[in-house]
């Protein structure tokens, strides 16, 4: 809707709405992950290092996987390395599938408990994903199918130039649907944390919920990519991730309990000095 927020007078520098929204989402996500990780007894410094390196790997990997014309990519390579300028490349699911295994490896490297660390990341990932979809809406990427419904949205010619979004017809605002689903998933994860029964429960719950959301919203999304069994690539991936996450969820749930989770009450007591560190 508004891909360009404003231009800096005299410098010719464009401030992109997508970039500002993405920055807000990243900052909020890092803050949330740090807070939840501290409550679980995880070291913030190591956790932030995991976030930085895994996030960079996810961003670069998603851009590479999203390239369909390598000749054009080589001619305009700056676009694919821009965090703020919207363009038609990269997918959030690709980034997620890259970020999680990289994060798991880095958790081991930094001597962090893997499943507990991924549980701390999950709400932050959900928050960043939800906020970034608002940026997608402003930029015009990840658009929906044409519709005559009152919810239909029309995009500008500038958005079309940047992302290829169709103009001249109303489209289903799948970006807003994805953002709403993301915020709802975030709320569910935060509630689930209060009743967490085992390490790994939160990240696996996120994968299940996110897969369902992507699969459902995919029916309204105008995805010009390859079709597999009548499903878009994202839907097909979701259909694989969901049962795998369910199976792993049940497997971890049946495992004998390992080290107890660090409760918020105990951690708060240690912070305030009311509970000795050795207890």
Say how far apart CA 244 and CA 236 lie, in whole Å.
13
* pTM exceeding the 0.75 threshold for the entire prediction: yes
How many residues belong to the chain? 279
Own/partner contacts of 136-139, CB < 8 Å, gap of 24 or more, are 136/18, 136/86, 136/175, 136/178, 137/1, 137/173, 137/175, 137/176, 137/179, 138/1, 138/2, 138/3, 138/17, 138/18, 138/21, 139/3, 139/16, 139/17, 139/18, 139/86, 139/163
* Whole-number Å distance between alpha carbons of 157 and 168: 9
Least confident residue range of 95-99, 100-104, 207-211: 95-99
In this structure, the strands spanning 4-8 and 231-232 are unpaired
If pLDDT is split at 50, 70 and 90, which confidence band does 108 have? very high
The reported pLDDT for the residue numbered 272 is 46
- For residue 62, pLDDT beyond 80: no
Lowest mean pLDDT among 89-98, 107-116, 183-192, 235-244: 89-98
CB 125 within 8 A of CB 204: no
Give the model's pLDDT for residue 139. Answer: 81
User: Quick check: 260 pLDDT over 80?
Assistant: no
**3 compared with 203, residue with greater pLDDT:** 203
Mean pLDDT, rounded, of the chain:
81
Please write the tens of the pLDDT for every residue from 115-165: 999 999 999 999 999 998 988 888 888 888 999 988 998 888 887 777 778
Condensed to tens digits (0 to 9), the pLDDT of residues 64-88 reads: 766 555 565 555 555 554 544 454 4
Which is higher by pLDDT, 58 or 12?
58
pLDDT tens digits, one per residue of 13-49? 667 777 788 889 989 999 999 999 999 999 989 999 9
């Amino acid at each position: 809707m508004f891909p360009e927020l404003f231009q800096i007078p005299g410098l010719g520098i464009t401030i992109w709405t997508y970039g500002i929204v993405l920055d807000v989402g990243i900052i909020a996500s890092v803050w949330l992950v740090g807070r939840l990780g501290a409550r679980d007894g995880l070291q913030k410094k190591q956790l932030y290092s995991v976030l930085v390196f895994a996030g960079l790997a996810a961003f670069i990997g998603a851009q590479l996987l999203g390239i369909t014309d390598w000749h054009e990519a080589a001619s305009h390579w700056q676009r694919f390395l821009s965090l703020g300028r919207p363009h038609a490349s990269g997918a959030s699911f690709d980034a997620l599938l890259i970020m999680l295994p990289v994060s798991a490896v880095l958790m081991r490297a930094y001597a962090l408990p893997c499943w507990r660390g991924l549980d701390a990341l999950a709400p932050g990932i959900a928050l960043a994903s939800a906020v970034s979809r608002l940026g997608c809406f402003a930029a015009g990427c990840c658009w929906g199918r044409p519709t005559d419904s009152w919810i239909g949205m029309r995009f500008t010619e500038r958005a079309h130039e940047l992302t290829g979004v169709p103009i001249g017809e109303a489209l289903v605002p799948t970006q807003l649907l994805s953002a709403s689903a993301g915020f709802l998933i975030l709320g569910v994860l935060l509630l689930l944390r209060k009743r967490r029964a085992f390490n790994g429960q939160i990240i696996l719950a996120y994968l299940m919920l996110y897969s369902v959301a992507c699969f459902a919203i995919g029916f309204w999304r105008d995805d010009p990519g390859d079709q597999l069994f009548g499903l878009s690539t994202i839907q097909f991936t979701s259909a694989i991730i969901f049962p795998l996450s369910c199976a792993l969820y049940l497997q971890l749930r049946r495992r004998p309990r390992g080290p107890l989770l660090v409760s918020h009450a105990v951690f708060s007591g240690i912070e305030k000095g009311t509970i000795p560190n050795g207890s």
